[in-house]
Structure 1
Amino acid sequence: MKQFKYVARRKDGSLIDGWLQAENEAQAKRQLIQQQRQVVMLTEQRTKTARNLNRETLITTLRELATLRESGMPLDQCMLSLLESVSDKQMETVLKRLHNDIESGSSLSEAIGAQPDAFPFYVSSMLRLGEASGQLGEALFSVSERIEREEKLISEVKSALTYPAFLLIVCVATVFFMFLYVIPNFENMVQGSSGDAGALGRLLAMSKFLNDNLTIISALLIAMIGGIYYSAKYGNLKDRVMHTLSIIPLFRSLIDSWNIVQFSSSMQKLLQSGVELVESVEITLNSISDAQLRKRLNHVVVKVREGKGLADSLAEYHVFPPMVIRLIHTGEAGASLVPCFREIHNLYERRLSKGLKQILTILEPLVIVIMGGIVGSIMIVLISGIISVNNISL
């Protein structure tokens, strides 16, 4: 999501400025209009801050800040206290900017929103709620718990993918080695034969092309890897990958479970803190990582503002599976949405964990089969070529 700096006019004519996150300028304007504010100025901010901030350091810092706030220490003093003990240079830079913004009159949520590269995009929205309800310390604890939960999931995925990734790298390296150094040795054998080299001849042609254009191919590979890295970090590659994966049923189920876990967790905490339903949905949609889901939730916010029930609005735009809709409908009917969202969160967190294990269980043998198939096919062609040439010679 992009970061926008705005100046807007309230109903009473007074001006207010701040930061907000949106997909584009049009969505940012809609957010301000929904808050009954007239846009005076709206500019996209391209700030450069610490991009690779260590998550463990971030979690620890947020918890320390929460503890200091719970003790009653003023926010600017909290920042100074954290600066005295921080050892990470990137975090020190972030804290200095936060301290300067807070001293200039910004709230913590606005100061954090001004550094979108340093914090997950949902942090600013969740802290804005804590500031509004007078429970900033609790909001900071909630944010740190969510980051920690996400980091744990990411760590599990990385750990499980390490071996399949290693096998894939070995497979690619083996194929390149064979084309560069092994297959060229068969060229004299084929040239001395009067018969058709067949598949072996095609392998030799590919090997010759690779050797003759190795510099160009290497440059293209480096450029492609660089382009993928840049698009993943600064572009919308993540959204495109998520959209592609969502077409595959197994991944679709996993993505749906993750979206529901995010939504239910945020809604539970917001409603439990006394935030109104429509505002809870509005804040929650800004904390969702799936771009397509955020678009649908924007429509849901409009319907809820018009007085329609949350469950009916979610059902109208096919946001979640029918079972989730029924549970939310039951919660609305019994005025017990908080326990309802808690149950939904627990249920789909278990499903997410189970689905992740299933995918990783399938992935490892699949990579081994693909690796064996590629290398084995090349070996079969080489051996068949040798036998064929020998038969012709006889």
Structure 2
Amino acid sequence: MARSDDPVTFADIEAAARRIEGAVVRTPTLLSRTLSELTGATVWVKFENLQFTAAYKERGALNKLLLMDEAKRGRGVIASSAGNHAQAVAYHAKRLGVPAMIVMPRSTPTIKVMQTEGHGAEVVLHGELYDEAYAHALELAEARQLTFVHPFDDPDIMAGQGTVGLEMLADAPEIETLVVPIGGGGLISGVGTAAKALKPDIDLVGVQAELYPSMYCEITGKTLPSAGDTIAEGIAVKAPAKATAAIIRSLVDEILLVSERDMESAVSLLVQIEKTVAEGAGGAGLAALLAHPERFRGRKVGLIVTGGNIDTRLLATVLLRDLARSGRMARLRIQLQDRPGALFAVVKQFDLHQVNIVEIYHQRIFTPLPAKDTFIDIECEARDAAHLERLTEALKADGFNVHPVDIH
């Protein structure tokens, strides 16, 4: 239950909803029949990637800006962010005529830097992780007398983010479990406050990337490192705020950790099934259902696709890796004698089994094989893993030494 001393209240969230109405998109919450069949739960999806800046962060940023007095707006604002908060602050600051500076980690995807600059903000790249960018932004805020707009540790930000929960339960009041990604904890603090006020018995589940389990450790008392190159840079926070941690401790029923592979699968499934683009953090909720099916089976579950700002090259890599894991795309390493007709004999089997060849790599030099032998790597497309297995068995029956090049 919410406590009287929590920094954000249900009344704050309702006021924020009225304040930002019409200036942010009231995104749809839709039942996904296919994801429901796949996971064994009844799944509703909230598409916050349909905001103008493609992420829910607009809600909190706008609420904060609208609550600032004219003097503070005139001096300008500064924020630190891996991307979505940056774009949200930049976009709405420009709409309201407020000068904005954004400090971003150097590792921020190029698309997010370009989009933030496109909204008229001055971008400063500093540090490799959010925490380094955050410290630098605080220094600049003091030096230039700018108002710092925190991405999560601010009651006005939490209240704005909580409007996601209001909309979800208005559109799908059947939802009995909400699954919410956690970075610093601003979204789940707001959504949880709204949800528990409307449905006190609702099951609230947080999700963090295994590489950045900072809030999980804060709540459970466990000690795990927060480091690594995650696809979910939007929730890669090394040190959560004490205010959000206190709210999460009182409202959230469980925090689950998800692997990079599960988040990649979630991003790919959202493209294939929902025809929608999600960044790694945006797919974290679905990743939790994939990684912990027994936790959600039979439940009425609400997921939030929190954002869709993923680098196009990274998205292409994720989709191709998922095809490889499912057996629809593969690389087969085949040893053969380096003589006329040998390659034809291999290709003939691909033709007979109707497996499409994408690329062929022929290696004669950098190999421990005898000088008269060689190996080829063939990248190919099959209908499924069974289809590929039939081709592999046929090649072996013809006397070829075949080894799939695995992807983990």
Q: TM-score range by the shorter chain?
A: under 0.3
Higher relative contact order (CA 8 A, sep 6+): 2
More strand by share: 2
In the superposition, the TM-score normalised over structure 1's length comes to 0.23
In the superposition, the TM-score normalised over structure 2's length comes to 0.23
Instruction: Indicate the structure (1 or 2) with the bigger Cα radius of gyration.
Output: 1
